[in-house]
Chains A and B, each alone.
Chain A
Amino acid sequence: DADVTQTPRNRITKTGKRIMLECSQTKGHDRMYWYRQDPGLGLQLIYYSFDVKDINKGEISDGYSVSRQAQAKFSLSLESAIPNQTALYFCATGQRGGPPGELFFGEGSRLTVL
């Protein structure tokens, strides 16, 4: 079983719909991240969390919200999806005190907004 699991893996939705992408991890890491990847662009950080009560905005947080329900779960929501949010979304985990920049990524959630 994957250490970092994302659901759904693929989703097609329409403009204006609310979408939630979920991430769960079994690595026991305290830090969790949501990144977005677009073709030809580097991964961009949307939100990150260092523990259950900690939520921080990344580079491109507008139009997104997150919830850290438990240490192992971190969900990303699009309240009203728009076509330019079509992208590949990755959840990642990291360990406080671990090697700097060593993140563990899930398999990705491909979102298409029509």
Chain B
Amino acid sequence: SQKIEQNSEALNIQEGKTATLTCNYTNYSPAYLQWYRQDPGRGPVFLLLIRENEKEKRKERLKVTFDTTLKQSLFHITASQPADSATYLCALTGSSNTGKLIFGQGTTLQVKP
């Protein structure tokens, strides 16, 4: 069955450093990979989308890479700030664009001042 793995252990980093989160998947060939942010008690918020034919995507301090050979995406936050502390969810979807997403369990990031 399709499976997405994100590091279940929380990631703790110092303010100003680059945070790198990993998303690995198996038994799936996604056309699109998304990253969402979720704050405690809130719904997920869409951050970035990367297509299968794209290697890298940037948005402000965020950078996402997508390696379909390794079946892995890396999500980077540069110059991290305490306000970046949240849980980050990776999600996959196929080419039909139905909006049916397969989510990973998320990785919690804690940025310390």
Interface hits, B35-85 → A, CB 8 Å: 41-46, 49
Contacts of B32 in A (CB 8 A): 100-101
CB of B46 within 8 A of CB of A100, answer no
Contact B42 A40 (CB under 8 A): no
Q: How many A-B residue pairs have CB under 8 A?
A: 69
Of all chain A residues, the one with the shortest Cβ separation from B8 is A40
In contact, A106 and B43 (Cβ under 8 angstroms): yes
> Per-position contact with B for A79-114: 1 when CB-CB < 8 Å, else 0?
000000000001010100001111111111000000
Cβ of A101 and Cβ of B91 under 8 Å apart? yes
Quick check: is B18 within 8 A (CB to CB) of the other chain?
no
Is the C-beta of A33 less than 8 angstroms from some C-beta in chain B?
yes
Q: Residues 48-70 of chain A: 1 if any B CB is under 8 Å from the residue's CB, otherwise 0?
A: 10100000001000000000000
Number of interface residues of B (CB under 8 A): 26
B103 touches which of A42, A106, A107, A108 (Cβ 8 Å): A42
As a 0/1 sequence over residues 1 to 35 of chain A, the CB contacts with chain B under 8 angstroms (1 = contact) are: 00010000000000000000000000000010101
Bound: A43/B33 CA distance, A: 15
Pairs across A and B, CB under 8 Å, 30 listed? A4-B43, A33-B99, A33-B100, A42-B103, A42-B106, A43-B44, A43-B89, A43-B103, A48-B98, A50-B98, A90-B44, A99-B49, A100-B49, A100-B93, A100-B97, A100-B99, A101-B34, A101-B91, A101-B93, A101-B101, A102-B34, A102-B46, A102-B49, A103-B46, A103-B101, A105-B43, A106-B43, A107-B42, A107-B43, A108-B43
| A positions within 8 Å CB-CB of B | 4, 31, 33, 35, 40-45, 48, 50, 58, 90, 92, 94, 99-108
